[in-house]
């Protein structure tokens, strides 16, 4: 059963040391706030999370060079002088990208409560369904003509059946009706509570090495602005993460929901999914590896909170401007998902391990997959993902399997999202709500 993301924040932020709460200015680049971000970066780094220390440029107390660092350690005084070309962040952005705009005056963003740990993201697959819309009913699965309604209905029945059988995931999730879970955020929560383990092994790895998180089978279901690229106009297009694949010709019916679950989403399946022959050969659904180096999902759900519908187009515009400066194309509609190379994954022959290796090869061939400039990013609007008090909010997903939930994102912060996260594979600590599949060598979430 898919579990929707929900915000779980109620109290104001405390100091980093657990002393009485202090108020930090509502500005990412205020020295006091930047210092708090550097402290968070140290916590994340100690847990093996690839994180940016660029906030040292705005902090009044950048770290001194450490023994053996030769003055080049992350966040040292030496490095701080070279971040943003030695300029203030605001001047750097204006000189390089021009005026990226800003959220309107009076835009109500929560700058007081602790952002880190404010998003509850279930382990398991993330499914993004095409609707061609940017707003939905308050609960998007209440739209009975939509595929999200049918898929949730099918998975709910499957979860009940497994529960009665005494096996499988028993947490069927819960409808998010706007209630808030009481959580004490007077202190920053431990990193382990909001940086979750990998859902699937790295690309090319035999799925028999799947993690416990993957076996649990829980995840998130979204409707999106993606336009269906299926040949049949009644069929849907579905993106599946961390598998990093697109499913075309998904029938908008209970039968289509059953086929998608059994051929793609069942927890025991790897990225390659089930062979066509194993499905009886009658399914017209076909899957390919996504061509994108990253996918960015922007909450635009006006019926849940108008702040998200205001922020999303402003963030999208800034993303296009900044990405284009780095020779990165943007797909807003899904048009790049037509006529993809190679046979469909359902038709790739071989054993399970061989088929996973083939998927890994296709992922490794994506332009820009390991960082740098070039390639393409998919940007789509999605329904409520929780935490609209922190608007703008977004999810960023990568072929490595990593995902990030960011909040308090403004147009001015988009250069950091692009330069530090998309190009370098490092987390911007002041934007982080939660993350998954990011703990590895501690250097970049773009490698595996």
Residue 263: burial class (beta carbons within 10 Å; 0-12, 13-18, 19+): buried
pLDDT of 160: 58
Per-residue pLDDT tens digits for 212-222 = 444 445 579 99
Q: What is the mean pLDDT of residues 313-328?
A: 99
Tell me the pLDDT band of 289, cut-offs 50, 70 and 90.
very high
Per-residue pLDDT tens digits for 223-265 = 999 999 999 989 999 999 999 999 999 999 999 999 999 999 9
Tell me the pLDDT band of 276, cut-offs 50, 70 and 90.
confident
Per-residue pLDDT tens digits for 164-175 = 544 433 333 333
CA distance linking residue 124 with residue 121, whole number of Å: 9
Helices 89-97 and 306-325: angle between axes, nearest 10 degrees = 70
58-72, 135-149, 199-213, 336-350, range with the lowest pLDDT: 58-72
CA distance linking residue 43 with residue 49, whole number of Å: 9
List, in sequence order, every residue forming a beta bridge with 108; answer none if it has no partner: none
Per-residue pLDDT tens digits for 363-416 = 999 999 999 999 999 999 999 988 889 999 999 999 999 999 999 999 999 999
Task: Identify the CA nearest to 414 among candidates 398, 435, 431, 400.
Answer: 431
Residues sharing a CB contact under 8 Å with residue 396, sequence separation 6 or more, in sequence order: 294, 295, 296, 297, 403, 404, 406, 417, 421, 422
pLDDT of 157: 80
Per-residue pLDDT tens digits for 1-13 = 444 433 333 333 3
- Count Cβ atoms below 10 Å from residue 326 Cβ, excluding itself: 16
Tell me the pLDDT band of 439, cut-offs 50, 70 and 90.
confident
Q: Is the separation of the CB atoms in 377 and 367 below 8 Å?
A: no
pLDDT of 159: 64
CA distances from 407 to 42, 315, 372, 413 (A): 20, 12, 24, 11
pLDDT of 283: 80
Is the pTM higher than 0.85? The answer reads: yes
């Amino acid at each position: 059963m898919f579990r929707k993301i929900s915000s779980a924040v109620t109290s104001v932020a405390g100091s980093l040391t657990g002393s009485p709460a202090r108020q930090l200015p509502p500005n990412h680049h205020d020295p006091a706030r930047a210092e708090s971000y550097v402290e968070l970066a140290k916590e994340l780094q100690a847990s093996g999370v690839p994180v940016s220390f660029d906030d040292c440029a705005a902090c009044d107390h950048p770290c001194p060079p450490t023994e053996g660092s030769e003055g080049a350690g992350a966040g040292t005084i030496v490095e701080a002088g070279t971040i943003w070309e030695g300029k203030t962040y605001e001047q750097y952005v204006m000189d390089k990208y021009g005026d990226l705009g800003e959220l309107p005056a009076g835009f109500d963003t929560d700058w007081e409560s602790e952002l880190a740990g404010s998003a509850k993201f279930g382990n398991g697959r993330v499914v993004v369904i095409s609707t061609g819309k940017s707003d939905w009913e308050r609960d998007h699965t209440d739209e009975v003509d939509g595929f999200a309604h049918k898929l949730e209905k099918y998975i709910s029945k499957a979860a009940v059946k497994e529960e009665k059988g005494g096996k499988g995931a028993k947490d069927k999730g819960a409808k998010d009706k706007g209630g808030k879970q009481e959580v004490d955020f007077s202190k920053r929560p431990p990193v382990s509570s909001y940086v979750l383990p990998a859902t699937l092994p790295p690309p090319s790895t035999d799925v028999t090495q799947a993690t416990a998180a993957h076996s649990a089978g829980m995840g998130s279901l979204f409707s999106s602005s993606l336009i269906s690229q299926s040949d049949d106009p009644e069929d849907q297009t579905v993106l599946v993460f961390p598998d990093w694949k697109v499913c075309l010709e998904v029938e908008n019916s209970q039968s289509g929901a059953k086929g998608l679950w059994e051929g793609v989403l069942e927890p025991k399946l790897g990225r390659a999914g089930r062979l066509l022959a194993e499905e009886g050969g009658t399914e017209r659904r076909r899957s390919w590896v996504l061509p994108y180096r990253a996918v960015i999902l922007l909450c635009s759900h006006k019926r849940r909170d108008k702040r998200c519908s205001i922020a999303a187009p402003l963030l999208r515009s800034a993303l296009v401007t900044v990405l284009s400066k780095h020779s990165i194309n943007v797909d807003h509609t899904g048009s790049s998902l037509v006529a993809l190379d190679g046979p469909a994954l359902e038709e790739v022959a071989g054993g399970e391990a061989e088929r996973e290796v083939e998927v890994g090869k296709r992922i490794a061939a994506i332009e820009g997959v390991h960082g740098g400039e070039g390639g393409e990013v998919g940007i789509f609007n999605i329904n409520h993902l929780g935490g609209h008090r922190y608007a703008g909010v977004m999810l960023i997903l990568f072929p490595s399997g990593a995902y990030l939930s960011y909040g308090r994102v403004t147009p001015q912060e988009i250069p950091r999202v692009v330069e530090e996260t998309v190009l370098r594979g490092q987390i911007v600590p002041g934007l982080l709500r939660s993350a998954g599949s990011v703990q590895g060598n501690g250097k970049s979430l773009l490698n595996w």
